[in-house]
Amino acid sequence: KKSAAQLRRMQQRAAARGEEYVPPPVDESPANDENEKPSNHDEKWAEIALTLETELKRIEESSDLPSKGRRSAKRKAEAIAAEEAGVPVAELMEWYAKHRAKSNDAGKKPKKDAEAAKRELIASKLKKDLDEIDQNLDVKAKDRRSAKRKAE
């Protein structure tokens, strides 16, 4: 939707060219009725937003991560959510805040599918490998860093 100022500027530009600007018709229909059944897209966004929200809470409450690690983990979680949803995180969370009250399953946790279980398995294996590398004092620090990069 174009603002009144944008429409005036476009009319002035068209007049300078010797043309007449005809603004596009305004669609006054509401985008999302409350009576409408939530679409599959909405359900997907709600699940992604809820997952992100719980993950961010878990990261904040984690005392074993230094602040730099928490910030990094937050960025990674937000990047994953943005990629899955196809929209910026701010927009996703704004949408979720508006639609949280409307949803019937606001208190439910998202379903864990096979992909999420696979991710958790990989993450736990990576954490275990990194801990083993850190505990190995026979290896020089430079070699430990190299091994960590390879593991990641």
3-state secondary structure 89-120: HHHHHHHHHHHCCCCCCCCCCCCCCHHHHHHH
77: nearest Cα among 96, 61, 57, 94? 57
Identify which has the larger pLDDT, 79 or 132.
79
Split at pLDDT 50, 70, 90, the class of 140 is confident
Token pair for residue 35?
């009576």
Please enumerate, as own/partner, the contacts of 111-115 that have beta carbons within 8 Å and a separation of 24 or more. Answer: 111/47
**Given this model, what pLDDT does residue 15 score?**
93
Summarize the confidence of residues 17-39 as an average pLDDT.
65
**Given this model, what pLDDT does residue 11 score?**
92
Split at pLDDT 50, 70, 90, the class of 149 is confident
Identify which has the larger pLDDT, 28 or 9.
9
Q: What is the mean pLDDT of the chain?
A: 78
47 φ, ψ (degrees, to nearest 5): -65, -45
**Given this model, what pLDDT does residue 59 score?**
87
C-alpha Rg value of the chain to the nearest Å: 24
Token pair for residue 62?
């984690």
**Given this model, what pLDDT does residue 76 score?**
92
**Given this model, what pLDDT does residue 106 score?**
46
Amino acid (one-letter) located at 11: Q
Split at pLDDT 50, 70, 90, the class of 9 is very high
**Given this model, what pLDDT does residue 37 score?**
43
